[in-house]
Structures are given as C-alpha cells and as structure tokens.
Amino acid sequence: MALQQIVEQIVAGLGYDLVEIERSVGGTLRVTIDLPWTAPTSEAEAAGVPEPFVTVEDCEKVTRQLQFALEVDGVEYKRLEVSSPGIDRPLRNEQDFGRFVGSVIDLTLKAPMGAAAGGQVSATRKKFRGTLERVERAEGATGAQSWQIVWSDAPQAKPGQKVSKKRAPAPLHALGFVLDELRDARLAPIVDFKGRKAKTQPGFSDIDDGTQVPD
C-alpha cells in the first residue's frame, strides 16, 4: 500500500483530517493533521465560541498508530513528526477555502493570469497575496466553485508610522480563479506581537501553532 493511503487511513480512522505529508532528504517523515471542520452555527458565532484545535495529545495518539502501521507495511523512515497546521497552513480543497474566507492567503498559479486581473499586473506574474473571497454563483450555474483574492499594492506602514487621513487609498485589485488553476495556496504567515497571528482582515480564523511530536 502506498504511503499516502496508509497515512490517510490511519489519520481518518482516528477522526482527524490529513493536511500534508512531507519527506525530508534526511529521512524525516512529517505528517500534518487537523480536526474535521464544519461551518459554525449563527449561535456559536454570536457567542464567540472558539474553534477547537489539535492538541499535543492528538499528535501523540496519531504518532503511536502511525508508527505501528508503518512498521507493519515496511515503510522506511528515520524520524516521524506529527504536528498541527502552522500559520502557513496549506489550503487543499473546497472545504479549506470555504473555511478561510476572509483570511489573507498566498497563492501560486500554474500559469500566469495577468490579464484576468484587468491587465494591471505583470503578464508573467504567478504569485499573489490577498484576502480570500468567495465568488457567488449565478442562479442555476454549474461547474467548479470560483474564488478571488483582493489586494492593494500600497506599501505597508512601518511600526509607529502615522498615515495621513488625507492620502488617497491605493486602488484594489482582484484576481478570480478556480482550484484547478492553482499550484499552491497557503494562509499567509502574518504574525504580530499581540498574539499568535495578525487579524488584519475580518474573519481571520485561529490556527494552532505547529506542535511537533517526534517518535
């Protein structure tokens, strides 16, 4: 059985979602897990109920089961690390994108799409950072869900720098896409000193810091 299948079966069987598998040149096998996500109810949002996160105990449980399964299947590795997603969590599927609408993300396209941004960006550009938004479907529309990121090329203000209220805001750009057009997408690793991550946009979801549990 392939490594991906082994890990997916173990992780899903224990009630978690598999986010990512990485193999390092030195033989380390890194497995990132998360708790299954469901859209919060309006009551939970109103009450400010925090989203649950992966704990050290969760990582330890998955580690023990993976060690046994990988040994039985003869998978070679020197070190096993199971962790929760970090602040640069990868976004892999429609559910991930729906979960993090309103968050700042980094994405890389498979092919340049400068013209899709109104011709206002370089025609060869593939990497973008912006706020993730869902593009609402027209009534009766079928096919893949469309998304977009919105950003401004205005320079970031330095800490302590005062920004004049009279200065005209920089224009916003938008780039629409579907998931098949992406090579990679991740939450932007933005942090500040007031918390674990910067809530620069409304709806920025809490993500637990990556806690590694070696074998």
List the domains of the chain with CATH numbers: 3-87+206-214 (3.30.300), 94-187 (no CATH)
Residue 164's pLDDT is 66
Q: From residue 204, give the alpha-carbon distance in Å to each of 63, 100, 147, 149.
A: 29, 7, 17, 14
Residue 209's pLDDT is 38
Radius of gyration of the chain (CA): 20
Residue stretches of the chain with pLDDT short of 50: 116, 195-215
Edge-to-edge strand list for the sheet holding 182-187: 172-177, 147-152, 127-134, 104-109, 182-187
Q: From residue 80, give the alpha-carbon distance in Å to each of 18, 65, 129, 177.
A: 15, 11, 32, 36
Each residue's pLDDT tens digit, 54-91: 999 999 999 999 999 999 999 999 999 999 998 999 99
Residue 160's pLDDT is 66
Residue 138's pLDDT is 74
Residue 213's pLDDT is 47
User: Which residues are bridge partners to 127 per DSSP?
Assistant: 108
pTM over 0.85: no
Each residue's pLDDT tens digit, 172-187: 888 889 999 999 999 9
Q: How far apart are CA 149 and CA 134, in angstroms?
A: 9
Residue 199's pLDDT is 39
